[in-house]
Structure 1
Amino acid sequence: MSNSNTQRVKTIFRSKASKALDRMEDPRDTLDDSYDQQVKLLQQVRQAVAEVATAKKRIELQGQEMGTRYARLDAQASEALAQGREDLARAAIERRMMLEGQVGALQRQYASLEQQTAQLQERERRLTDQVAAFRIEKETIKATYTASEAQVRANEAVSGLSSSIQDVGSSLDRARDRVKQMQARAAATDELLASGALTDLTAAPDADIERQLAAVVADAEIDRRIRALRSGTTPSDASPARRGDEPDAWLSIGKGDASPR
């Protein structure tokens, strides 16, 4: 393989390898993957917000139940005193005091969950805005990349077409050179055959003598016609030319009396 062919193969290989890498490292796929990851993260944050809200709702319901019990114990303590049952009133008040501690702990948990909910909701809001902004930028970059890729392909196609045209031009130049060489060779062989330097194997025996005699006769005929023109005598075979206005005049050309004078 010649150096030019080897270089061409290397160039084609590098071009294909580069295109394969471009497909592997397509930024559009990378952007889509990043967007999908951000969407998943946003979904996780929203799920966390929902879970915290659910936990807060459970504590709220539990607090409402404890509040109802707290009010009932207060009513029971009052009724026990009214019935003269101080012992029952004391028991109700003790339970009410214990319930106050439990409610206080529940209130602290509820406040903590409210804070977490507010933080998660703020994080969700920011992340939603970021994902939306990233999506717009992603689509813009993808569209720009696709347009640039199309332009590159168009330029490569034009470049390839230019190379093809150059190759066609080179082929035409080579063909013209071969035609000229063949024409020159044909003319040279004709001259060699005419001079007798080359032997025509297809010609009849003594054809060279006949060819030379024919040349002598043709020269003599030309001399005869020149003498006739100089003397003002019209050659016999020129008479049809005077009848050129007749449709069949051409049939008489060369049919006149060609006997020498």
Structure 2
Amino acid sequence: MGILSRTSYVIRSKINAILNRSEDPTETLDYSYEKMRDELQQVKQGIADLTTQKKRLEIQKRRLEENVEKHNEQAREAVQQDREDLARQALEKKNSKMTQIEELESQITQLQSTQDDLVEKKNELQGRIEEFRTKKETMKARYEAAEASSRVSEAMSGVGDEMGDVSRAIERAEERTDEMEARSAAMDELQDTGAFDDAMSDKDSIDRELEAGRSASEVDSELETLKAEMGKSSAPESEPETADAESDEASADADLEDVETDVDDEEVEAELEELREEEEEKSAE
């Protein structure tokens, strides 16, 4: 196979594939039915034209027959007047008209035969068209039912084009969501570990850890102060009492009394009230 022949074959095959994909069987059936109806109309028009031509020949034949009768009368009258010459002319015209009539009769007979054939073919074609119309409507109904069933099955199974697009869209959304969640978790982890320094601050991770330690120390110191103000000691109560312990306790009591005398009573009451409110709120929670 030559290059041109092969190229032509490939092009025709691709065009045929495109036509097959774009072809709608229902439209094809309707188009075929309309073409058959057009052919039937053309046959009917041909029969009408043929009949018209036959009628013209029949009219011409009748006129010739009238002329034949007229020439007969002319010949009789000429004989009565002893005008054989005129009688001969009339008979000659009569014979000419008779010849034309015979030719017309032959043509009329042929036209009638052709007309009969066309009418028979027209009736046969009309019957086929009616049969095709019935089959066409049946095929269209079957095709539309099959198409609807196919669409429903594809929708339920998720293999159709539109359902496939929806499935792919859901998959892309899930992948995008997972990616964003992973990125957000990574940013939080890097932020917690101090991998990303604050662009508005000149502190590094060491400064932040030292600052956090200082803050924790300040909290512990403030907690010890509150315990001292409330008369609570952090020393263990399970140690045996000794003379030295009693001396130390007496000394601590003396110191506590000195602290309490130095603190304003109103401030102590206010702090105690805040502590009680905090304890009530914790109890309520």
TM range (shorter): 0.5 to 0.7
C-alpha distance in 2, partners of 1:215/1:20? Answer: 83
Root mean square deviation of aligned Cα = 4.7
Q: Choose 145-154 or 65-74, whichever is displaced more.
A: 145-154
Residues 212-240 of structure 1, C-alpha deviations (whole Å, 9 max, x = no match) = 3534765996x958968xxxxxxxxxxxx
Residues 20 and 104 of structure 1: CA distance in aligned 2, closer, same or farther (over 3 Å) = closer
Q: 1:12 is matched with which residue?
A: none
Where do residues 104-183 of structure 1 align in structure 2 (5 Å cutoff)? Answer: 104-134=102-132, 148=147, 151=151, 155-183=160-188
Q: CA 1:144–1:216 in structure 2 vs 1: closer, same or farther (change >3 Å)?
A: farther
Instruction: Please report how far the alpha carbon of residue 53 of structure 1 lies from its aligned counterpart in structure 2 after TM superposition.
Output: 1.4
Q: Aligned to 1:199, what secondary structure does the other structure show? A: helix
Partner of 2:59: 61
Give unmatched runs, 5+ long, in structure 2: 1-14, 196-203, 238-272, 281-285
Asked if 1:198 is matched to 2:205, the reply is: yes
Match of 1:253 in 2: 277
CA distance in 2, matches of 1:181, 1:206: 25
Query: Among 217, 221, 229, which residue is 1:212 paired with?
Result: 217
- Return 5+ residue gaps in structure 1 as ranges: 1-16, 191-196, 229-248, 257-261
Deviates further, 106-115 or 19-28? 19-28
CA distance in 1, matches of 2:276, 2:190: 39
Q: Kindly provide the CA deviation profile for residues 85-129 of structure 1, in whole angstroms up to 9, marking residues without a partner as x.
A: 555444433433332222111100000111112222233333344
Secondary structure in structure 1 of the residue aligned to 2:114? helix
Deviation at 1:172, TM superposition (A): 2.9
TM-fit CA distance, 1:209: 3.4
Deviation at 1:141, TM superposition (A): 5.7
**Pairing partner for 2:71 from 66, 70, 73:** 73
1:198 and 1:49 map into 2 onto residues whose CA distance is 106
Number of aligned residue pairs: 211
Q: For residues 36 and 250 of structure 1, do their structure 2 counterparts lie closer, same or farther at Cα, with a shift above 3 Å needed? A: farther
